[in-house]
Amino acid sequence: MPVLERGIVMTLRNILLGATMLCAATTPAFAYAQDAAPADDTATANDADYGNEIIVTASKRSQTLQDTPIAVSVTSAADIENAAIRDLIDLQSAVPSLRVSQLQSSANTNFIIRGFGNGANNAGIEPSVGVFIDGVYRSRSAAQIGDLPNLERVEVLRGPQSTLFGKNASAGVISIVTQKPQYEFGGAIEASYGNYDAITVKGNITGPISDTVAFSLAGNYNRRDGYARDLNLDTDVNDRNRWGVRGQLLFEPTDALSIRLIGDYDKIDENCCIAGNVIAGPTVAITNALAGGPSVDANNPFSYNVYNNFLSTNEIENYGGSAQIDYDLGNLALTSITAYREVRANTNQDSDFTSADLIGQNSQQLGIDTWTQEVRLTSDFDGPINFLLGGYYFNEKIKQKNDIRFGEDFRPYGNALIQAASGGALSVPALEAALGAPSGSFFREGDGLDEAYRLKNTAWSIFGTVDFEVTDRLTLSAGANYTQDRKKFATNVISTDTFSGIDLNDPAFAGFRNQLLLGGALQQAGVNPNDPAAVFAFATNPATAATFQAFQAFANANQNNPAANPLNGLKPFQFLPPFLNLPNSVEPGKTSDNDLAWSVRASYELTDTVNVYATYATGFKASSVNLSRDSRPLASDLAAIGAAGLTTPNLVSGSRFAAPEESEVYEVGLKANWSVAALNLAAFKQSIKGFQSNIFTGTGFALANAGKQSTWGFEFDGSVRPVDGLNLTLAVTWLDPKYDSFVNSAFGDISGTMPAGIPELTMAAGGTYTHEFAGGTKAIFHVDYHYESPVQIVEGLTGLPASVAQNLKREVNQLNASFTVALTNGFELGVWGRNLTNATYLTTIFPAVAQAGSVSGYPNQPRTYGVTGRFKF
């Protein structure tokens, strides 16, 4: 293999600078012993021996992750097999600092590191946690969650990453590496069968085409029946159905030149994701009546029984290609990575999660086209100074079309809400008549919003690091990243919701409001305003005539007073008001950001087995755009919008975009590695100014910047080998997060409070025992346990007291295990189980859509188990 090929580390994107530039604290729970540096650029595992050391090489130098001070957890292919990790959602059970949440569709997955992360539910929001696959940035979750075949390892880098990645990441990075083509013919095929009729097949083959060209082909197929039951539709839901293919060519025409071409395609077509009823509010009685029976499994989210009136759609295609060129210039190495990717997602969901036909359609068609180019120059001098210098370009276009429409039952549902809100005084037909609207026009089936959005994002950055070996034991490092990011966005949203387009404060309705004010006052006095005789008697009786005149005076004085408007109670039912599109004369639909992020590090080798380090680093994420029906002008623009005559009925302020995130971390750590044990300790304070919060309010999402979110934390991971073949591991993360400042949240000023969903204590404990029999057959037993301490799931719930949200907590206790027999001829047979105790918890909760007082939530996946056969050749 060429020298350059041995000198490039794909997972850390060549972030080590030659000497000890990269600082990484590997999770020993997932590191295997290696007697010497590997011949290629990969972190490798000795299948016969579980140990405490994992070797990588960068810039043509071998170095253990244990020797370098960046906080990173490594999960190898063997770990993924033993723990039956099927996708990135399962990975969190192995990496305590990582949390992955599956939200309302297969295209919405949220990644959180050390309590920081966002990006799901809105294509205009870039994630704070960057995901890279074979060095290529995947900008949205729809492009990240496919089941990749032929994995080599997954690395989770914690804290802001800027100076070693062209694409800045304010909270951390997940780097996924697949195996590159080999010049020795080989491959593997794996088949698994489990409960819920789950079938998983994976295969790969690699080998030489010539002395200088190698290839690999890989594919995967993953299907499973639904583990939940829709009792209204009488069918299983939450199934899995996805497949993918991946091809690679490796050209090495000379010892100095290496070209790696990758092309891939994967597709998802499945029904996801159920929401159970956590709290049954007063509207459940209405939806039950409309459905003619149960509309939800009330207050029982873990029954996995749901009621919908149509199945959800999740059709996602993700495909693209990349070319990596590495050229060895002697003491310098030049790397270029060019990539183009497309995502096409078509989703639809019964978003009211009831068997009443309230939301007849909530669909999205999303297209994302992304082109990236990165160039890096890395030195490998014998002297004390080495460097990395790089440039990065990012170009992305997003087209999104949404449709949300009322179902058949929404008109009677809206009528019931209005009658309840008015004490029976009003109804939908009565309102239509009083407000001059055509009969049957309010909450009409098929009405709603037609939405179209466009976003173009271009960004470039220059980044680099310098590494100075002061002594054989002391290394100082510094790095910087200058980024410019520009976004242009446009909307074309049309509302056909007649009721939401009516200004209930309009002077034209003064007479109607006068009548309601007078009628309300009479009712308070015990007089039925709908009984003319009773009203006349009250008005003419000398004892009450003065009171009646006072009532009239009050109604006359307040008929145009918005604060006393008797129709104010109906405004929450104006769900889909007219939309002010942009760009317009006040709002240009543009953002432009720039930032200089930097880092300094010092690492010192106390002994041959103990290192200490200190790091200060900053990170950056550019403005995110609100590509949703909740995109509304900033409060500061409302006056100018009014002056320009652009005001639409019921226009209120909100956000068109969230300002950038700026993060920083102070971190000190100690790493030790002995013959039978290893440990890593890290203490840090990490914060993000302007954290981009995206909270669901029951009818939409509120995108806003928190003033500052921070956390103190400690991370420990250690392993010990008390006897040959036995490896015991423990990884613990403790966090003390808070909103230092968040004045304008969806729930008011929550400054000083603890952000929801971030457990104080997370732990991953495990053990693997390998026994080798005479003749070479091996038996491998693995068990791991994942724990998260109780934590409040959401900051608040719109329309409910704060105490309700405070009492809704999540605690995770998950036990996983596997047992595998590996024969000498390459055959392996094993059994596995995840969540063996069938522990239950809610991953996310939210106010039920248009159902005030009700709360829905996504339950975790129940116990799964199965058998796996594997053949390696």
CA atoms within a 13 Å half-sphere pointing along the CA-CB vector of 557? 6
| Cβ pair 700, 707 in contact under 8 A | no
SS3 421: helix
pLDDT number for residue 120:
63
DSSP 295-357: SS-TT-GGG-EE--SS--EEEEEEEEEEEEEEEE-SSEEEEEEEEEEEEEEEEE--TT-SSS-
72 lies in the same domain as 190: no
Nearest to 369 by CA among 402, 337, 398, 339: 398
Tell me whether residue 434 is in a domain.
no
Query: Are 662 and 677 members of one domain?
Result: yes
3-state secondary structure of 135: coil
Q: The domain that contains 794 carries what CATH number?
A: 2.40.170.20
Q: 228-230 and 305-306: which strand pairing?
A: parallel
Q: How far apart are CA 78 and CA 778, in angstroms?
A: 14
My answer on whether 456 and 530 are in the same domain is no
Query: In whole angstroms, what is the distance from residue 603 CA to residue 469 CA?
Result: 10
| Cα angle for residues 479, 592, 162 (degrees, 5° grid) | 20
Residue 675 near residue 720 (C-beta atoms within 8 A): no
Nearest to 192 by CA among 837, 857, 835, 820: 820
Q: How crowded is residue 608: how many other Cβ atoms within 10 Å of its Cβ?
A: 8
Q: How far apart are CA 461 and CA 269, in angstroms?
A: 37
**Listed residues 177, 200, 223: the one ending a domain:** 177
Asked whether residue 545 is domain-assigned, the answer is: yes
The reply to whether 428 falls in a domain is no
Beta strands 186-194 and 624-625 are: unpaired
Give the whole-angstrom CA distance, residue 276 versus residue 501: 32
Its pTM stands at 0.87
| Token pair 């597709």: residue | 267
- 353 in the Ramachandran plot: left (φ > 0), alpha (ψ -120 to 50) or beta? left
Dihedral of CA 343/348/354/355: which sign?
negative
For residue 49, give every residue at least 6 positions away whose Cβ sits within 8 Å of its Cβ, in sequence order, or none: 32, 33, 770
**196 and 52 within one domain:** no
Domain CATH code at residue 108: 2.170.130.10
737 in the same domain as 796: yes
With respect to residue 116, please indicate whether it lies within any of the assigned structural domains.
Answer: yes
State whether 607 and 696 are in the same domain: yes
Instruction: From 16, 95, 584, 96, select the one nearest 335 (Cα to Cα).
Output: 16
Element (H, E) at 157: strand 151-158
Kind plus residue range of the DSSP H or E element containing 385: strand 385-406
CA angle 311, 315, 319 (to 5 degrees): 170
**Encoded tokens for 804:** 């309700």
Q: Are residues 148 and 255 part of one domain? A: no
Q: Tell me how far apart the alpha carbons of residues 702 and 170 are, in angstroms, rounded to a whole number.
A: 21
**C-alpha to C-alpha distance for 768 and 235, rounded to whole angstroms:** 39
Same-domain pairing of 128 and 227: no
Mean pLDDT by 10 residues, the chain (873 residues): 35 31 34 33 37 38 56 79 76 79 71 80 84 87 64 84 81 87 95 96 95 96 95 95 95 96 94 92 95 95 95 93 95 95 93 95 95 94 91 97 96 95 90 95 96 97 93 93 96 96 95 94 92 94 94 95 94 94 96 95 92 94 92 94 95 92 94 89 94 77 87 92 94 94 86 92 94 93 95 87 90 95 95 95 90 92 96 94
What pLDDT does residue 25 have? 33
Please check whether residues 166 and 191 belong to one and the same domain. no
d(CA 725, CA 735): 33
One-letter-per-residue 3-state SS of 830-860 = EEEEECCCCCCCEEEEEECCCCCCCEEEEEC
Domain coverage including residue 101: 3-177
> 554 lies in a domain?
yes
Question: Whole-angstrom distance between the N-terminal and C-terminal Cα of the chain?
Answer: 21
Tell me the torsion sign for CA atoms 522, 525, 527, 532: negative
Do residues 226 and 330 both lie within one domain?
yes
62: in domain? yes
Q: Is residue 24 part of a domain?
A: yes
What does DSSP assign to residue 745?
B
Q: Please list the residues that pair with 206 across neighbouring strands.
A: 186, 216
Cα–Cα dist 271/44, whole Å:
37
Whether omega for the bond prior to residue 273 falls within 30 degrees of 0, making it cis, is yes
Residue 528, beta-bridge partner list: none
How many residues are present in the chain?
A: 873
**Which of 132, 162, 177 is at the close of a domain?**
177
**Count of domains for the chain:** 3
- Rounded to whole angstroms, the Cα distance separating 81 from 46 reads 15
Residues whose CB falls within 8 Å of the CB of residue 67, separated by 6 or more in sequence, listed in order: 20, 605, 611, 671
Domain check: are 182 and 169 in the same one?
A: no
Per-residue pLDDT at 32: 31
Q: Tell me which of 177, 202, 224 is where a domain ends.
A: 177
Q: Which amino acid does the sequence have at 430? A: A
Note whether residue 105 is domain-resident: yes
Say how far apart CA 441 and CA 499 lie, in whole Å: 8
Helix (H) or strand (E) holding 475: strand 474-491
Query: Would you state the pLDDT for residue 67?
Result: 62
Q: Which residue has the tokens 């009823």?
A: 277
β-strands 172-178, 129-133 pairing: parallel
Residues 196 and 68 in one domain: no
Produce one character per residue of 499-521: b if its CB has 16 or more CB atoms within 10 Å, e if not. Answer: bbbbbbbeeebeebbbbbbbbbb
Q: Provide the 8-state DSSP code for 25.
A: B
pLDDT, position 752: 92
